[in-house]
Structure 1
Amino acid sequence: MKYLKFGNLREPISVIGIGCMRIAGMSSDELDRYVRVSLEHGINFFDHADIYASGKSEEIFGDLLSKDPALRNRMFLQSKCAIHDSMYDFSKEYILKSVDGILKRLQTTHLDSLLLHRPDALMEPEEVAEAFHILKDSGKVLNFGVSNMNRFQMEFLENKLSDGLAVNQLQMSIAHTPLIDAGINVNMMSDAAIMRDAGTLEYCRMKDAVIQTWSPLQKGFFGGTFIGSEEYKDLNAALNALAEKYHVTSDAVAYAWLLRFPAKMQVIIGTTNPDRIKNAAKAAEIELTRSEWYELYRAAGNKLP
């Protein structure tokens, strides 16, 4: 496993993180194995959100930690807040209330990271800064970040924060590359050249912020996986060839493609299958060549200018 420096944490985090959105239906034994397999393979980062199964995902994870408190010292916990009642809410009161609920459900004293879950059009940076200050001073949250924000939204918020944002969680996969496309197609008269995010990847690199990729096997916005999809025959052929070369599965190559991007990349996987967790861990040991990275990018249907 490879690891990254994350915000002000003393210990590094694994470049593969576990997304806990789908764990609510697991039994206690299944969850125990799920967590222990992750840790045994060097994956020490677990990503939650207060809306996952209306808090149930955090609750059952907290039950596991209460049964074996020593597990908490072996992992980093992140959660997200701001989505409720079909809206986004960055108000100070809601952020503080949300964190108290998250900590109670997870049965822990603190979060290693808290993300604001999608942008709030009515965001008041001063309010967010005040909430973050209270949470940090109380020891309830050690680091802060955002999800799905562009460069200027991050900068606008950071202008009022005493510390920078440690992370931006963004949708990204070989079959979902708008964050990359515009940078490759600068000054071209094509849809791929449209700058939709104001250079978010470059901004995160300049600010040393971790880029967490969610839905790393999805095509489009929750359009299903591209692994094995007839829609992506060329991509799957290329993935399978590289999987054979590196003695891994095709999904591990897809994760390695994301990790090859020269930033502080972390792939958040959403599987609840322990065997797939083991496969994902192997992605950290692969470094695709430049030609292999571009081969996969083109195989996904992207054209170079």
Structure 2
Amino acid sequence: MSAEEVPPVKELNPVQELIYGCMGLGGSWSAEPYTAADVDQAAAAVDAALEAGITLFDHADIYRSGKAEAVFGEVLARTPGLRERIRLQTKCGIRLGENGLDAYYDLSGEAILERVNGSLARLKTDYVDVLMLHRPDPLLDPAEVASAVGRLMAEGKVRAVGVSNMSAAQIELLQDRVEAPVVANQLEMSLGARAWLESTVLVNHADGTDYSFPHGTVEHCVRRGIGLQAYGALAQGRYTGAAGGGDAAASATAELVAAMAAEKGTTGEAVVLGWLMKHPAGISPVIGSANPERIRACAGAADVAAAMTRPEWYRLWITARGSNIP
């Protein structure tokens, strides 16, 4: 791709938005090939996401052993003009079932180049809007990462760089060498996975030792203009009808979510995501469901966030944690 052919940079985070997570597409996690039915499922999920106003689609090279990207690529190939309407991000840095190991991390320069080229081939596209470094690699060499990322950006294969599951200190170490600004950090954040939130109020409190989330990471991202993306944002449906919801706190929260949804004339999914989006850090929830109906049910989250009162927000949090805040 020549410099003249490089597509313009599309708008990225920290604009707050819903993101569609494609981990559920592509069939099984085995090495078995995907089927025509898997492609149809992916197409239905993409259509539902577009109906919900979603234009950013999140991938990783390991999702469904590469088949999530592959079926998405088939959808792009059979839908003229779709690539120009959406943004794509994918992740690299985790190897599964290689060299006699169940899993290990690899953010070497050689691996980054290899994995990105593989993702582009499966996605049937010339570039991704964001390349996310999936997990911190203890053997990471920031200069080596910078070289690989710089090469990919110069070739027009990557438009921006982000990270996933990284602390403020890890991001700063990368940013010392990587010239392009880190635009996003994807973390597990939800009404069910609250370590990111609990760490802010349990400073100098004995209960703070129950949470391993690196305090200050959210604040660092806000200060640096790094978009926060929340995976697991629907908490696996724990509060919106999933079977086996869990303990008494989860059951009470599900009842509260249903009551708030009925009162506001919306869906439970919109309430759960709206709670995340109410936070002033500008969190963008990643929706991982492959169910078109459930994807569409998320569409009203931003409206719920805008209308949610402070007491409502705190009531959801306190009910989910099962005890009062300090």
TM over 0.5: yes
Amino acid aligned to 2:173: F
Q: Residues 138-175 of structure 1: CA distance to partner in whole angstroms, max 9, x if unpaired?
A: 11001111111111111111111212210000001111
**CA separation in 1, counterparts of 2:282 and 2:192?**
20
Residue 69 of structure 1 corresponds to 80
Q: Give matches, 1:152-301, under 5 Å.
A: 152-191=169-208, 196-218=213-235, 225-228=238-241, 229-231=245-247, 232-287=250-305, 288-300=308-320, 301=322
Is 1:80 aligned to 2:91, yes or no?
yes
Conservation of the 8 A alpha-carbon contact between 2:227 and 2:282: yes
Map Cα deviations across residues 157-206 of structure 1 (whole Å, 9 max, x no partner). Answer: 11112122100000011111111111112222223675631311101100
- 2:325 aligns with 304
Query: Take 1:107 and 1:185, find their aligned partners in 2: how far apart are those partners?
Result: 47
In 2, the alpha carbon distance for the partners of 1:29 and 1:240 equals 31
Aligned residues: 294
Inter-partner Cα distance in structure 2 for 1:193 and 1:186: 11
CA deviation vs aligned residue, 1:187-240 (integer Å, no higher than 9, x gap)? 222236756313111011001111110111337xxxx73444241122112211
**1:115 alignment partner, SS class:** strand
Asked whether the equivalents of residues 48 and 57 of structure 1 are also in contact (C-alpha less than 8 Å), the reply is: yes
Extract unaligned runs of 5+ from structure 2: 1-8, 28-36
Give unmatched runs, 5+ long, in structure 1.
1-7
Q: Deviations over 1:65-112 (max 9, x none)?
A: 111231101111010011113110110000001000000000001000
Identity, % of aligned positions: 38
For the residue of structure 2 that corresponds to 1:24, the secondary structure is coil
Moved more, 77-86 or 36-45: 36-45
Which residue in the other structure is 1:45 paired with? Answer: 56
User: Which piece of structure 1 moves more, 56-65 or 99-108?
Assistant: 56-65
Equivalent residue in structure 1 for 2:68, among 42, 53, 57? 57
Q: Which amino acid aligns with 1:225?
A: R
Q: Residue 182 of structure 2: SS of its match in structure 1?
A: coil
Deviation at 1:39, TM superposition (A): 1.3
Q: TM-score, normalised by structure 1?
A: 0.91
SS of the aligned residue for 1:90 comes to coil
Cα distance in structure 1, aligned partners of 2:213 and 2:246: 28
Is 1:19 matched up with 2:30? no
Secondary structure class of the residue paired with 2:117: helix
Deviation at 1:273, TM superposition (A): 1.0
Q: TM-score, normalised by structure 2?
A: 0.85
